[in-house]
Amino acid sequence: MNVPVHVADPASPRHDWTLEEVEALFELPFTELVFRAAEVHRRWFDPTELQLSQLLSVKTGGCPEDCGYCSQSQHFKTATRAAKLLDAATVIAAAQEAKAGGAQRFCMGAAWRDVKDRDLPKVAAMISGVKALGLETCATLGMLTPAQAVTLKDAGLDYYNHNLDTGPDYYGQVVTTRTYQDRLDTLAAVRDAGMATCCGGIVGMGETRRDRAGLLRQLATLPSHPESLPINDLMPIDGTPLGGSDPVDVLEFVRMIAVARLVCPKSMVRIAAGREHMSKEMQALCFLAGANSIFVGARLLTTDNPGRSKDDELLADLRMRPMGAAC
């Protein structure tokens, strides 16, 4: 590919990336790509620090969407069983435990296509209670209207997660019950309400490298880059259309992290789902390439995650520390 590989001065992050430019970054020699990403990472962050977030499913299963990777869809027969919305006291207690374990951000996820106004007061109570603990708050609840986004902001919500999942050209192979524009509209409502966006995607769903570049190009050309950018490594789940997917090559996943860092230099780039099957060495390469956030805790919604003892061992071996912790 003969497209010039240009990375703007990180002091002025770009919003005009072309798909060809992002693809060209993926094509760089691996060591050169990781070196460039590490340089940019150090302009904005301490490379020895990791943000620790914890995620709780506050309403599990029964989702009307048909996202091909998700065990919570009512379209597929999986081991996940539907459950009602948790009460605020239960969620706040879980957040308190997460904070005691070192988490800096607490994320609440509900298996909804969109938020119903009748559920907003309960969700707002959760958010207010978690915020009062001194934690950053994040929620992923499906599509939002502008008015709902304002209500969540007023309750104390700092971040709203709404992933694009994949590039626009491949999206229809993964989800048919919600359009790409629906997702972009919710992100716009979140930004307009004054909240930070948490938005990324998934690799390993059968997409091509060009599709991965398409996802990152979409994120990098939003009116503002996502403040938090999670990259999920697909956890294939029996009973879902993508349950038999082959794993993505380790170096290809690291390339995804590195290119995300280059095109969205100020974002918190998170290794999200999939760490359960990642080696210590793979995670170390991801941190070298610019990842600086992970989910801690034994569960991510409905899939496994390394236990806290393993994460403490990982940080100790790499001489890294939780963000904001004393040296």
> 315-318, long-range: CB within 8 Å, 24+ apart, which pairs?
315/50, 317/280, 318/284, 318/287
Looking at 14, 270, 275, 286, which residue is catalytic? 270
Active-site hit among 138, 199, 264, 286: 138
Q: Which of 280, 291, 219, 225 is nearest to 254 (CA)?
A: 291
**Contact between 8 and 15 (Cβ < 8 Å):** no
Catalytic residue check, 67: yes
Residues with Cβ within 8 Å of 264's Cβ and at least 6 positions away in sequence, in order, are: 13, 216, 219, 220, 225, 226, 229
Catalytic residue among 14, 36, 105, 107: 107
**What length is written for the chain?**
327
For residue 264, indicate whether it is catalytic.
Answer: no
Q: Determine which one of 14, 178, 183, 198 is catalytic.
A: 198
209 as an active site residue: the answer is: no
Q: Which of 96, 143, 93 is nearest to 115 (CA)?
A: 143
Question: Would you say 105 and 138 are in contact if contact means Cβ atoms under 8 Å apart?
Answer: yes
What's the rounded Cα separation, in Å, for the pair 236 and 22?
27
Q: What is the CA radius of gyration of the chain?
A: 19
* 199 tagged catalytic: no
CA-based end-to-end distance of the chain? 44
- The SS3 call for residue 186 is helix
Cβ neighbors of 3 (< 8 A, separation 6 or more) are: 18, 20, 21, 23, 24
Active-site position among 36, 70, 178, 255: 70
One-letter identity of residue 175: V
327 is catalytic: no
63 catalytic? Reply is yes
- Token pair for residue 25? 């970054």
Catalytic residue status for 198: yes
Q: Which of 14, 36, 63, 178 is catalytic?
A: 63
Catalytic residue annotation: 63, 67, 70, 107, 138, 198, 270
